[in-house]
Amino acid sequence: MTAYVKRAPPGSAAAPRWMGGRMPLSSELANSVRQLVTQAREGNFAEPEMQALQPLFELQARWSSIPAAGELLLETAKTREGHHLFIFPFAGRLVHSGLGALLAWRLARVEPRTFSIAVNDYGLELLTHEPVDWEQYLSEGLLSTRDLQHDIEHSVNAAEMGRRRFREIARVSGLVFQGFPGSHKSTRQLQASSGLIYDVFARYDPDNLLLAQARSEALQQELELTRLEATLRRMETQTLLLRRPPHVTPFAFPLLVERIREKLSTEKLSDRVSRMIRDLERVAQHA
């Protein structure tokens, strides 16, 4: 392959992105990541990438722990923002997104609470202003697969997700007219038409097979329900490592960045992250 390029005009450089950084880990890649974490626990840093991360792994082991293959690491912390719970299943962003909503809903069902949720490919964070007895909830089946389908449908806006998926189902099944050749209807028009049909089915024919298909596709494609259930089953069999580190650990730091990314601030995100990194490095040097 030959790539022809030319010098760009002077000015600020812009790097195009195709949202590749938001692609979730596949099941195979997630397993490989867990194997690398296990190697780091055993002191095996053969690859150059692992050697570059060795100081972070050593700091993680000193402040908290590096989980083995049969262990699940959970970290709790209290800051001026509230009470944090960090969980590291290493299962991918979509699975963690559904898992975060599921756990928050199960906790709020017992006692009214407000949670902030942050996820990445390696773990998730639950933040609340009130203290939580995590050991009690974990012992009572917080990570159980019992009633998973019911709980996940109530923890996320499954109806709205199903409505979005129903547009494609209605198009393929011929329920909506897409327009004549050369004058196709816009996506907004198709969504409005399919939304009306969805509302009619939901009200007068709730057992319609197309509605069930829309809900099933929404849960599988947007939350990876099958992988979520498999992840919960694996977490049920793992030994829980509940740690209370003195500072935010290298595993938990990216989750804090994910959450502050969504906050409105006149300060640049890079400046805030750089300041947080300097603070942690200063603490790590004196720890």
Give the pLDDT of residue 262.
56
**Token pair listed for 35:** 């194997």
Query: Residues with Cβ < 8 Å from 6, sequence gap 6 or more?
Result: none
List the chain domain ranges: 68-155+225-286, 158-223
* Cβ burial 134-154 (10 Å sphere, 16+ → b, else e): beebbeeeebebeebeebbbe
What is the rounded CA–CA span in Å between residue 87 and residue 134?
A: 12
Alpha helices in the chain (DSSP H): 27-41, 48-63, 93-110, 134-139, 148-155, 158-173, 187-204, 209-223, 225-237, 253-261, 269-286
CA distances from 30 to 91, 125, 185, 221, 264 (A): 5, 18, 41, 17, 32
Signed CA dihedral, 28, 89, 102, 84: sign only: negative
**Token pair listed for 82:** 């509230």
Signed CA dihedral, 171, 187, 93, 87: sign only: negative
Query: Tens of pLDDT along 62-114?
Result: 999 999 988 999 999 988 888 999 999 999 888 898 898 889 888 888 888 88
CB 122 within 8 A of CB 33: yes
| Run of H or E residues at 180 | strand 179-180
- Count Cβ atoms within 10 A of the Cβ of residue 45 and give its class: 0-12 exposed, 13-18 middle, 19 or more buried: middle
**Which residue shows structure tokens 């780091």?**
40
- Identity of the amino acid at 133: D
**pLDDT values of the chain reduced to their tens digit, one per residue, 287 residues:** 898 888 877 766 666 555 555 566 778 888 898 999 999 999 999 888 899 999 999 999 999 999 998 899 999 998 888 899 999 999 988 889 889 888 988 888 888 888 888 998 899 999 998 888 888 998 888 898 888 878 887 776 656 667 777 877 887 778 877 777 777 777 677 777 888 888 888 888 888 888 888 877 777 776 678 888 899 999 989 999 999 998 889 999 999 888 776 554 445 656 666 766 776 677 676 66
Query: Residues with Cβ < 8 Å from 228, sequence gap 6 or more?
Result: 95, 98, 99, 102, 148, 152
